[in-house]
Chains A and B, each alone.
Chain A
Amino acid sequence: MSQLNLMSEEWAAAFAAEANSGPDASRRQNVEENYWQWIEARKPNLNIVLGLAIKSDTDADLYSYFRIQEGVIVETWCDKGERRGEAQVVLGGTAEDWEELLRGPRNLSQNIMYRRLRLFQGNLHFFFRNIYYFAELLRQGMRVPAVVQTGAGNSAAEAAAGS
Chain B
Amino acid sequence: MSEFLERIDVVDIDTLHRDYDVDKVIDYVHEGIEAPTGSYPLDLYRKYEAQRWNISDLSFEEDKKDWTDKMTPLQRDTFLRVATGFHHGERQVAVDIMPLIIAAPKDEHKVYMTSQMEDEARHTIFFDRFYREVVGFEATDLMDTLDQSYQYMTETFIGAFGYLAYISDQLRQRPHDKRLLVSAITNYHMWIEGVLALSVMKITLGFCKRNQILPGFHKGFLATTRDESRHVVFGMHLLQELLADDPSLKTAVYDTVVTMLIMGSTYTQPVDYTPLGVERDSVRDILITNLRKKLGMVGLPIPPELERMMQGVQPENAAGG
Mark A residues whose CB is within 8 Å of B.
30-32, 34-35, 37-38, 105-106, 109-110, 112-115, 118-119, 124-125, 127-129, 131-132, 135
In the complex, per-residue mask of B249-274: 1 if CB is within 8 Å of any chain A CB, else 0: 00000011011001101111110000
> Can you report 11 A-B residue pairs in the complex whose CB atoms are below 8 A from each other?
A34-B267, A35-B156, A35-B267, A37-B266, A110-B147, A115-B166, A119-B169, A128-B163, A129-B259, A129-B263, A131-B263
**A131: chain B residues within 8 A (beta carbon):** 158-159, 162, 263
* CB proximity of A114 to chain B, nearest CB, Å: 7
CA distance A118 to B155 in the complex (A): 18
Which residues 214-258 in B have Cβ within 8 Å of A in the complex?
255-256, 258
Residue of A nearest to B167 (CB): A124
* CB proximity of B102 to chain A, nearest CB, Å: 17
Tell me the interface secondary structure of chain A in the complex: helix
Residue of A nearest to B269 (CB): A32
User: Do A110 and B267 touch (CB < 8 A)?
Assistant: no
CA distance A64 to B153 in the complex (A): 31
Closest 7 CB pairs of A and B: A38-B266, A31-B268, A109-B158, A129-B262, A109-B155, A112-B162, A125-B259
User: Do B169 and A115 touch (CB < 8 A)?
Assistant: yes
**A119: chain B residues within 8 A (beta carbon):** 166, 169-170
CA distance A110 to B88 in the complex (A): 10
Residue of B nearest to A37 (CB): B266
* CB proximity of A107 to chain B, nearest CB, Å: 8
**A38: chain B residues within 8 A (beta carbon):** 265-266
Contact residue range for chain B? 20 to 34
**A124: chain B residues within 8 A (beta carbon):** 163, 166-167, 170, 183
The verdict on B207 contacting chain A, using a C-beta distance below 8 Å, is no
* CB proximity of A92 to chain B, nearest CB, Å: 12
Tell me the interface secondary structure of chain B in the complex: helix
Across the interface, B161 reaches (CB within 8 A) one of A30, A31, A113, A127, namely A113
Q: Which of A37, A113, A115 has the most CB of B within 10 A?
A: A113
Residue of B nearest to A122 (CB): B166
The verdict on B150 contacting chain A, using a C-beta distance below 8 Å, is yes
CA distance A110 to B263 in the complex (A): 16
Residue of A nearest to B268 (CB): A31
The verdict on B157 contacting chain A, using a C-beta distance below 8 Å, is yes
User: Do A125 and B255 touch (CB < 8 A)?
Assistant: yes
CA distance A135 to B162 in the complex (A): 11
CA distance A109 to B156 in the complex (A): 8
Residue of A nearest to B252 (CB): A125
In the complex, per-residue mask of B138-172: 1 if CB is within 8 Å of any chain A CB, else 0: 00000000010010010111110111011101100
Residue of A nearest to B166 (CB): A119
**B267: chain A residues within 8 A (beta carbon):** 32, 34-35
